[in-house]
Amino acid sequence: MAAAATRTGVRDVLSLYAASATCRTAAWEALKGAAAKSAAVVAIDESADGEAQAESGDDAVVELRLGDEADGGVAGVEEDGTSEGAVDDGPFEPHMYLAALETKHIGRAMLYAGEVTSTQTLLHKHLGRVRVPGAGLIATADVQNAGRGRRTNTWDSPVGCLMFSVQLEAKRGEVLVFLQYLLSLAVLRGVKLAAPQVEGLRLKWPNDIYAIPPGADEPVKVGGVICESVYSDGKFNITAGIGVNVNNAQPTVSLAQLAPAPTRIRREAVLAATLNELEAALAVFESEGFAPFEAEYLDAWLHTGQQVRVDSLIAPVTVVGLTDSGYLKAEDPATGTAYELQPDGNRFDFFQGLISSAL
């Protein structure tokens, strides 16, 4: 039973889906625990019983009450939920997603609704301390009314956009800067597997997914990644949010439009393939670091040889790769001096206001 999303004030109603009865029961217990600790934020539908539903195969309906600050709207969504030029996109099918999921942990418990305020706000702010053993929790929806990007930026999330947030963990802080790179690569790999007809996807440092549409001269943004973390009990609890234009033609371009013959691409397949690739990549990263992925990442990004201006330097420098700490590596073409470049954190375009330090 998939609950249709209804909005009264700032209430989001989601259904709980899981890859197994064990995952469903674990998720149900974790959510009930969250409700007991923060009843003003999370309420569980007491008419449903997690264990009974796990045995019957029904899906648990979970009512999540978000704070007032989560409410809001996003411009660009038509009244009927569609946009001109969009490929027809029906509701997300959770069971199709679960059938394609091959992970051992990530994404095996999922909260889904037709409409929510923000999956990132839901998982990071309101369920940030909830962890489902053996079933890394994710949240997804067909439409977001207050989708979030980096800092205070909003992410336009109309019908046809794949938007989801996933809970991850890390014991070492240095993992955090590379995680957004692994997430971006996982999306590119997932799209290649789920929709091999899509061409031209590229990466913009540090966390954006771009594409060069056929016949176009300049790349346009089709997706992005946001990572937020809280340190607790000796580890970083991370909530990673990803948005990708899959079948929606607005506000930029979609994956469906990048295919030689525009067609509907299943969001369920892209999501499952992305999480399959992410879990595999994280296992390699844990033992070998980012080195096995660096060539693939640099091959996909837009910046090799790019000239950038740095606030503290007179002449532009040339981007040549990544430093060991995960920031931009650039060189002065005249002197050969190498620099590590970091964004100043106050600008939407990371290539404006770069801060340098000599290597």
Question: Running along the chain, 359 residues long, what does each successive block of 10 average in pLDDT?
Answer: 39 82 87 67 51 48 51 30 54 95 96 88 84 88 71 64 94 89 97 93 93 85 93 91 90 87 88 98 95 96 88 84 92 91 58 60
CA–CA gap between residue 215 and residue 263 (Å, rounded): 18
> What per-residue confidence (pLDDT) applies to 349?
52
Q: Which residues of 101-130 are buried (b: 16+ CB within 10 A; e: fewer)?
A: bebebbbbbbbbbbbbbbbbbbbbbbbbeb
CA–CA gap between residue 260 and residue 286 (Å, rounded): 37
Strand order in the sheet with 328-331: 307-308, 317-322, 328-331, 338-343, 354-358
> What per-residue confidence (pLDDT) applies to 135?
76
Name the DSSP class of 301. Answer: B
CA–CA gap between residue 274 and residue 292 (Å, rounded): 18
Residue partners of 80: CB distance under 8 A and separation at least 6:
none
The domains of the chain, with CATH numbers, are 11-299 (3.30.930.10), 303-358 (no CATH)
Residue whose C-alpha is closest to residue 168's, from 253, 302, 340, 283: 283
Name the DSSP class of 19. Answer: S
CA–CA gap between residue 317 and residue 327 (Å, rounded): 15
> What per-residue confidence (pLDDT) applies to 59?
57
**Angle of the 175-194 helix axis to the 291-300 helix axis, nearest 10:** 60
**Structure token digits, residue 175:** 């993992």
> What per-residue confidence (pLDDT) applies to 313?
76
